[in-house]
Amino acid sequence: MCTHAASAAALSAAIDLASTTRSATRGSATLYQGTGVVTGATVTGVRRDGHGRSVLLKTALGGERELACGQILVAAGRCPVAADLNLAAVGVRTGGRGEIVTDARQRTGNPRIWAAGDVTGGPPYVYTAAAQGSVAAGNALFHSERAVDYSALPRVTFTSPAIASAGLTEAELVQSGVACDCRVLPLESVPRAIVNRDTRGVVNWSPRRQPAGSGACTPLPMGQGR
Ligand SMILES: Cc1cc2nc3c(=O)[nH]c(=O)nc-3n(C[C@H](O)[C@H](O)[C@H](O)COP(=O)(O)OP(=O)(O)OC[C@H]3O[C@@H](n4cnc5c(N)ncnc54)[C@H](O)[C@@H]3O)c2cc1C
C-alpha cells in the first residue's frame, strides 16, 4: 500500500468521496457540527499566503469557490505495492495499477497461489479484505470453490459520526431503471439511535418498489450517522 504525495487531484478524489452522502443530505453542501461537505466539486489548486492556506474549487454548477483553512489533509490515494516481489517469476499476473490479478475465487495466475485484500485492487474496505481472505483460505485449503458476493458489501468509513452504506445507492437504483420507494429517515426516529443518545444524521432507505399488496420489502439502506 502506498500513499501518494499531496496533489490537487488526490484532494479532489477525497472531496468526491463525500458525494456518497449527497442523496442523504439532499444538497450539494451541508454544515454538520461545524464540518462542511462540498460534493461534486473539483479541486483546481491550493494557495498559501501570509493569512493562511486555502483550497480552490470548481463546483458542480461550474462556479468557483475558495475555502480558507488552517491545514490541508489529503486522505485519498492508495495503490498496491507488489512490484518488488517478482511475481512474474511464479506466474502471478499483475494489472495496470500493480494489483495482483485474481479470478472470482481469489486464485492468481498461478493455480497454487491465492491472493486477497487491497493488493488485489478491489474495493478498499476492511470487510472486502476479510471476506476475500476467508474465501481464499477456504478455496486454497478445502477446495471450497467459493467467490465473494459484493452485492451487499458494507461500506463503512470510520469517522465520527460514521458514514456507512450497503447495497445499491438511490442513484444507482434509479440509474438501473429499478423503481424505488426511497426515503430519508432522520435518526431522531430510530429507537436504537435514541437509546444511544446520539441522533445525529439520517438513514437513506432505498427499498425496491414492491407490487401493490405484496407486503414484502427488500431493504437496501444507505446510511449516514450511527
Ligand atoms: C488511512 C486509512 C483509512 C482507512 N479507513 C477505512 C475505513 O474507514 N473503512 C474501511 O473499511 N477501510 C478503511 N481503510 C482500508 C483498510 O484499512 C484496508 O482495506 C484493509 O486494511 C486491507 O487489508 P489488507 O489485509 O488487504 O491490507 P493491510 O491491512 O494493508 O495489511 C497488509 C499487511 O501486509 C504487510 N506486508 C506488506 N508487504 C509485505 C511483504 N512483502 N512481506 C510481508 N508482509 C508484508 C503489511 O505490513 C501489512 O501488515 C483505510 C485505510 C487507510 C490507509
- Residue closest via CA to ligand 1's atom 49 equals 1
pLDDT in the model for residue 173: 84
pLDDT, tens only, 169-208? 888 888 888 888 888 899 999 999 999 998 888 888 888 7
Q: How many C-alpha atoms does 1 have within 13 Å on its Cβ side? A: 8
CATH of domain 155-225: 3.30.390.30
The helix/strand/coil state of 212 is coil
- In angstroms, the CA 106 to CA 128 distance is 12
Which amino acid belongs to residue 41? Answer: A
Distance 2 CA to ligand 1 centre (A): 10
- pLDDT category of residue 106 using cuts at 50, 70 and 90: very high
pLDDT in the model for residue 33: 64
Q: Between 30 and 72, where is the model more confident?
A: 72
CA dist 191 to 39, 161, 186, Å?
30, 17, 11
C-alpha cell at 56: 480552490
- In angstroms, the CA 82 to CA 61 distance is 40
Atom of ligand 1 nearest to the CA of 84: 41
Residues with a CB atom less than 6 Å from ligand 1: 1, 117-119, 124-127, 129, 156-158
Query: Where exactly are the structural domains of the chain?
Result: 2-69, 80-142, 155-225
Compute the average pLDDT of residues 57-86.
89
The edge-to-edge listing of strands for the beta sheet with 64-69 is: 42-49, 52-58, 64-69
pLDDT in the model for residue 5: 33
In the chain, alpha helices (H): 8-17, 22-25, 126-142, 170-175, 191-195
Atom of ligand 1 nearest to the CA of 157: 8
C-alpha cell at 163: 458514514
In 60-110, alpha helices (H): none
Pairing of strands 2-3, 64-69: unpaired
In 18-102, alpha helices (H): 22-25
Closest CA to 126 of 158, 103, 95, 152: 158
Residue 140 has pLDDT above 90, yes or no: yes
pLDDT, tens only, 72-90? 988 777 889 999 999 999 9
pLDDT in the model for residue 195: 96
Compute the average pLDDT of residues 25-42.
66
